[in-house]
Structure 1
């Protein structure tokens, strides 16, 4: 999340991914003031204009928040309320409007007082390190950027080396050039680039990009033990032990370890874990929750407001919470376990 503090009460924000939108859902409350750009239909008053026809214009408004909800799960945030100010006199104050906030949309949030949890949530994703994953073979290459637990893919790149007519004129350096161009278009300067795949192609590609001046901006690592390239190779890596070792401080590795520990405790018949909303809510009421992981299913299948209240209450008690989505195997595993799970400090009686 890109943030800029205006004063003690106002912070401008721009969400960069679905995690940021979820954090904003947990931050923005009824009674807050939101300023942002939106569109509004203005009725035409010209001669001969159809009475039901209007013109959609772009306008900046200030909104007193009355209702907020995640729209289409985690892809958009709907913020409804009463218009306090507008940049166009045709937009009446006191009328109702809804912002649809998406990734890369900017707004300014003004509160009477920011709580420590709200400030922590607005800054939390800024501390996350990004990784660009490159799964390369002689035939194809998959590239995805991982931030938090969200994977953003670009289309597979194919070398054209398959088939007899290509064998005599196949130039692997041209294939590498295509990959390098795509790689540097998605990578950010603080990212770590991790290259893996079968055979020696990964090492040849690593040596190739190290010759580039752009490569100096990134930390580049080679991972062993992944025997497939393309998109399949990316998914294989995110489930592997190599991922946990190389990216041990990443959010994905931490969440993966939490899920593994839950499954271990379940196999040992331990009661020091929860699965599902009701179990986790009860454990949190007792102050027993240590670590909590949730997916979009927790919000889809339960009362959204109650889920948000649980997450914020848990965090106020010192619980570390992690959100995951269906772009990774970890997100699908959490969804399969009821959408919300936790590790407990001590068992809670059923």
Structure 2
């Protein structure tokens, strides 16, 4: 998420990934004011216009917030409130409106006072780069963009090569050019390019893109040991030890390490972990939580306001909190464990 402080009361936000929407959900409170673009149906006064039809137009509004809620997955945030200002004379002040915030949207949030936990949540969005994953074989290629803990997959590309033809007179450069164009649709400043897959095709593609201008602007990593191309190769990489080595301090690598430690503790019947909301809430009462991971399932199955309040309470104590969606196997694994897990600094009898 890109943020810019406008003044003491107002901060501007640009939403880049689903995790940002969750952060905004944890920040936005009743009584805040939001300025953003939205759409509104305006009744037409033209001759022959149907009285039950209106024209949907884009306007800029200021909204006094009454409540906010995530959709069933972390890809949309609905903010309900009352319009106090509008760029259209057709929209009256005092009208109730539901503002839908999505990825790539921008908005300004004004508060009478920004709380320390809210400022901390904004500063925690410090992973300003992502990873463009390229799983290439001689026949196909999968491309994914990993930002934070969210994986976005592009449609598989196919080279059209056929067995022996590939080894003799098949020209693979047009395939590489299509791959390069697809990569550039998701490649952003400071992103790292990670190339893997069976055989030598990954090295050939690396040699090809070294001639492109992006080679001077982006770090490029070649990973061995991933024997699948296409979408399967992307998922294989996400679950591999190579992922943690390459991603280093990235959020997904940290979450994978937390889950592995929890599985080890579960195997050894340790009580220094929790699974599920109730166990984790109990551990928080003792100040025992070291790190916490949750998935979208916990938002879907529990009272959302209760979960949001709990997450803010935990993070206010200095605990690092990680959110996952179902775009990765790791996210689905956390969902299977009750939607929330945590590592503890010391054992709690009722936990583990």
Fold-level similarity (TM above 0.5): yes
Q: Cα distance, 1:128 vs. partner? A: 4.1
1:231-277 deviations in whole A, cap 9, x for unaligned?
10010001001111122211111000000000100111111111111
Taking a change above 3 Å as real, the CA distance of residues 273 and 163 of structure 1, as seen in their structure-2 partners, is same
Deviates more, 1:90-99 or 1:260-269: 90-99
What is the SS of the residue equivalent to 1:291? strand
1:317 — aligned with what? 317
- Where does 1:127-166 land on structure 2 (aligned, <5 Å)? 127-162=127-162
2-structure distance, mates of 1:183, 1:76: 25
2-structure distance, mates of 1:124, 1:263: 27
CA contact (8 A) 1:63 1:83 kept: yes
Q: Cα distance, 1:45 vs. partner? A: 4.7
Taking a change above 3 Å as real, the CA distance of residues 88 and 211 of structure 1, as seen in their structure-2 partners, is closer
2-structure distance, mates of 1:283, 1:128: 32
1:107-156 deviations in whole A, cap 9, x for unaligned?
11000111222122223334343111111111111111111111111111
1:229 — aligned with what? 229
Deviates more, 1:38-47 or 1:2-11: 38-47
Taking a change above 3 Å as real, the CA distance of residues 138 and 280 of structure 1, as seen in their structure-2 partners, is same
Deviates more, 1:47-56 or 1:142-151: 47-56
TM-score of the superposition, structure 1-length normalised?
Answer: 0.95
Aligned length: 350
1-structure distance, mates of 2:246, 2:342: 25
2-structure distance, mates of 1:167, 1:349: 63
1:151-185 deviations in whole A, cap 9, x for unaligned?
11111111111267776541122222221222233
- Where does 1:1-350 land on structure 2 (aligned, <5 Å)? 1-45=1-45, 50-162=50-162, 169-350=169-350
2-structure distance, mates of 1:48, 1:220: 60
CA contact (8 A) 2:127 2:250 kept: no
CA contact (8 A) 2:66 2:81 kept: yes
1-structure distance, mates of 2:272, 2:284: 12
What is the SS of the residue equivalent to 1:259? helix
CA contact (8 A) 2:159 2:172 kept: yes
CA contact (8 A) 1:129 1:250 kept: no
Deviates more, 1:244-253 or 1:295-304: 244-253
What is the SS of the residue equivalent to 2:104? coil
Structure 2 residues not aligned, in runs of 5+ = none
CA contact (8 A) 1:128 1:251 kept: no
1-structure distance, mates of 2:71, 2:341: 23
2-structure distance, mates of 1:150, 1:70: 16
TM-score of the superposition, structure 2-length normalised?
Answer: 0.95
2-structure distance, mates of 1:317, 1:222: 40
CA contact (8 A) 1:161 1:167 kept: no
Q: Cα distance, 1:58 vs. partner? A: 2.1
Q: Cα distance, 1:204 vs. partner? A: 1.6
CA contact (8 A) 1:134 1:195 kept: yes
Deviates more, 1:73-82 or 1:37-46: 37-46
Structure 1 residues not aligned, in runs of 5+ = none
Taking a change above 3 Å as real, the CA distance of residues 70 and 213 of structure 1, as seen in their structure-2 partners, is same
CA contact (8 A) 2:127 2:148 kept: no
2-structure distance, mates of 1:73, 1:200: 39
What is the SS of the residue equivalent to 2:153? strand
